[in-house]
A = this chain, B = another copy of it.
Amino acid sequence: MSLIVVGSVAYDGVETPHGKVDRMLGGACTYISLSASYFTPVKIVGVVGEDFAQADVEFLASRNIDLAGLDRVPGKTFFWAGKYSPDMNDRETLQTDLNVFADFNPKLPESYRSEPYLFLGNIQPDLQRSVRAQMTNVHLTGGDTMNYWINDFRPALLETLRQWDFLLINDSEARLLSGEYNLRRAAEKIMAMGPHTLVIKRGEYGAILFRRDTHFMVPGYLLESVFDPTGAGDCFAGGFIGYLAGKGISPKNGDIPFAELRKAVIYGSVMGSFCCEKFGVDRFRTLTSAEIEARYQEFKNCTEF
């Protein structure tokens, strides 16, 4: 079933110990959509400028991503540049030009509104809420946020979270949102804000899925080398929601089986790990479903006892 993904479509400049790319396709919406497209049809909502390359349009379309909701407006596409530390656990932002993204006010095409799955990428919480309000038949809603919205837009964010089924954030964001350092206690507080399901991403250390009084932990995939971690968290999100959408899983007809959420977390981890193997979105130019299934099996082999 189709998944609506809302968020940034951007150009990125990235430097890692393995090399430097001055300008390449990026943005949360792009990574989430590419990742999810291996599991379910995706329709994106975003905005780009006149400089957005036809080759990038064609690449996204080649993954069967519906671009009806990708607005092209006068001006330049959102640009971000950053440089990673030698161990790649930190990065420094060198440049952020919001450009056309500064006035992003997502309007869903008519053809999107009755779709059942919605992932709201990290944008201003009121905008996230306005997107959901445009949907007429949503079965499962989830999304991401960041420290800026948690700190400076807290009331708006809390109002938004009340409507979500799941929230997918990293450990420092979970601590900031809940005011609790311990992740188990942080999770309890966050689930009391609305989402019945919480995924806390821990970068190279994996992720934890929380639901009511139970949780599931997956360690990070042990890559032989990390080329570029940009977008890995978004690819995790894409694998997670993509798997659920592809299987038609939602609380529409009763409780979501915890076993399916566990699988969704593994597919998220799988997609995040592939993302790091090449610069930017390059890994998705060649990645096959067979490779995804093989890595899913590898996760099983590496964690089962």
- CB of A243 to closest CB in B, whole Å: 12
Most central of A86, A217, A262 by chain B CB within 10 Å: A217
The reply to whether A225 and B302 contact each other, CB–CB distance below 8 Å, is no
The reply to whether A305 and B215 contact each other, CB–CB distance below 8 Å, is no
Taking the complex as formed, is A222 at the interface, i.e. its CB lies under 8 A from any CB of chain B?
yes
A187 to B208, CA, bound (A): 26
A304 to B215, CA, bound (A): 11
Taking the complex as formed, is A49 at the interface, i.e. its CB lies under 8 A from any CB of chain B?
no
The reply to whether A222 and B185 contact each other, CB–CB distance below 8 Å, is no
A224 to B181, CA, bound (A): 11
A219 to B202, CA, bound (A): 11
- CB of A298 to closest CB in B, whole Å: 10
Chain B residues with Cβ below 8 Å from A216 are 302-303, 305
The reply to whether A184 and B222 contact each other, CB–CB distance below 8 Å, is yes
The reply to whether B305 and A224 contact each other, CB–CB distance below 8 Å, is no
The reply to whether A222 and B208 contact each other, CB–CB distance below 8 Å, is yes
Taking the complex as formed, is A87 at the interface, i.e. its CB lies under 8 A from any CB of chain B?
yes
A218 contact from B87, B219, B225, Cβ within 8 A: B219
- CB of A263 to closest CB in B, whole Å: 6
Chain B residues with Cβ below 8 Å from A305 are 216, 218, 259, 262-263, 265-266, 300, 303
Chain B residues with Cβ below 8 Å from A182 are 223-226
Chain A 86-121 interface mask (CB, 8 Å, partner B; 1/0) = 110000000000000000000000000000000000
A219 contact from B185, B206, B224, B226, Cβ within 8 A: B206
- CB of A248 to closest CB in B, whole Å: 19
Chain B residues with Cβ below 8 Å from A219 are 205-206, 208, 217-219
- CB of A16 to closest CB in B, whole Å: 13
The reply to whether B183 and A222 contact each other, CB–CB distance below 8 Å, is yes
Chain A 199-222 interface mask (CB, 8 Å, partner B; 1/0) = 000100110100000011111001
The reply to whether A217 and B303 contact each other, CB–CB distance below 8 Å, is yes
Most central of A87, A205, A259, A300 by chain B CB within 10 Å: A205
Most central of A206, A219, A224, A304 by chain B CB within 10 Å: A219
The reply to whether B224 and A215 contact each other, CB–CB distance below 8 Å, is no
A-B contacts, 9 of them at CB < 8 A, read A183-B222, A205-B205, A208-B219, A208-B222, A216-B302, A216-B303, A217-B303, A263-B305, A304-B304
Question: Sorted from nearest, which 8 A-B pairs have the closest CB atoms?
Answer: A217-B219, A262-B305, A205-B205, A219-B219, A217-B302, A184-B222, A184-B224, A303-B303
Beyond known contacts A208-B219, A215-B302: 12 more, CB 8 A cutoff: A183-B222, A184-B223, A185-B224, A205-B206, A216-B305, A217-B219, A217-B303, A218-B303, A219-B219, A300-B305, A303-B305, A304-B304
